[in-house]
Amino acid sequence: MSETSRFSWGPAAATGVGSMPGGDAREAARTVMGTLEALPHLPELPARGPGADMIGRTAGMLVELYARVEPSGWRLGDRPGRDTARARSWLGEDLDALEEFAQGYAGPLKVSAVGPWTLAASLERRNGEAMLGDPGACRDLVASLGEGLRSHLAELRRRLPGAEPVLQLDEPSLTAVLLGRVPTASGYRTHRAVDRAVVEGALRELTERAGAAGVPVVVHSCAPDVPFALLRRAGATGVSFDFSLVTERDFDALGEAVEGGTALFAGVVPAVPPAASSTQPASAGLSDPAGSVMGVRSLWRRLGLSPESLAASVVVTPACGLAGASPEYARRALAHCVSAARSLADDPE
């Protein structure tokens, strides 16, 4: 297969991570669809409150598992309540807005949900402890999430028949789960590290379910020490990460991922503007698209990878979600990602 046709989004693609600032779903959908032509995404607007946050949004997708908001976070309950209804309502509003501004769109379109291990580390059982501490509960969660994602993707296809869904699983807590760093409810201890084979198996179950429906899966983590090799073995089509956190110990795994056909969603654009100084405005970091991906080019050369594969293998993104930025900066950041991705194609050397 040629470099230009390996992934549904094609070469020189850019996309957002997921979250956008503010609470106006129509404005967020307009911005995304008007800026990200190669790989737009369904925006998330956590500023609206519980149920629009990443955990609540995904909890609302679960099948036969229901969660409610407690002072400590989201906790499982016996039946759907107002918090579940609110989460589903927010998601419906987001889909309505996307449908309005994506009429006639044909091509890849990314939707996000929290992955099983970050969800297990965040959702509480009835006793207040995370689901992570109960292997049986984790298995039930994976099954429920898989069925909920199937319904979500089917709804997207119903609303936008020309869309080719791409599923992003957000796993910012994955490394903490693997290293046994997720705190218990008391805060005095941590949950035992989950065996890597178990973590990989749960992720593979979801990637295989999605793959059977023709949906590629990208796993996102903006935390340090992303387990690139594990995610590749689990069947991830792409791995999304904060490029500024990559260290030399990641180089071999990154090279193996690219050579194995895994896409790299490189977060190179700051999710919030750097602080302004007396000599530079806060937006100064968005003035040089080619400079934003200079580190990616350098990594490619260091790994000895083919320059021709660069634009095909790398998708340019913000370092993380844009919920903490201003609407103006979010628009500029996404447009900057698009320009930076084009520069990789124009000058891969």
CB-based contacts of 266, cutoff 8 Å, min separation 6:
241, 243, 293, 296, 314, 315, 316, 317
CB 297 within 8 A of CB 289: no
Q: What is residue 279's predicted lDDT score, i.e. its pLDDT?
A: 44
18-40: average pLDDT:
97
pLDDT digits over 264-300, tens only?
999 999 999 877 434 444 454 588 999 999 999 999 9
| Mean per-residue pLDDT over the chain, rounded | 93
Q: What is residue 290's predicted lDDT score, i.e. its pLDDT?
A: 92
pLDDT confidence band for 314 (50 / 70 / 90) = very high
Global confidence as pTM: 0.94
Residue 5 has pLDDT above 70, yes or no: no
6-26: average pLDDT:
95
Count CB atoms within 10 A of the CB of residue 281.
Answer: 12
pLDDT digits over 199-255, tens only?
999 999 999 999 999 999 999 999 999 999 999 999 999 999 999 999 999 999 999
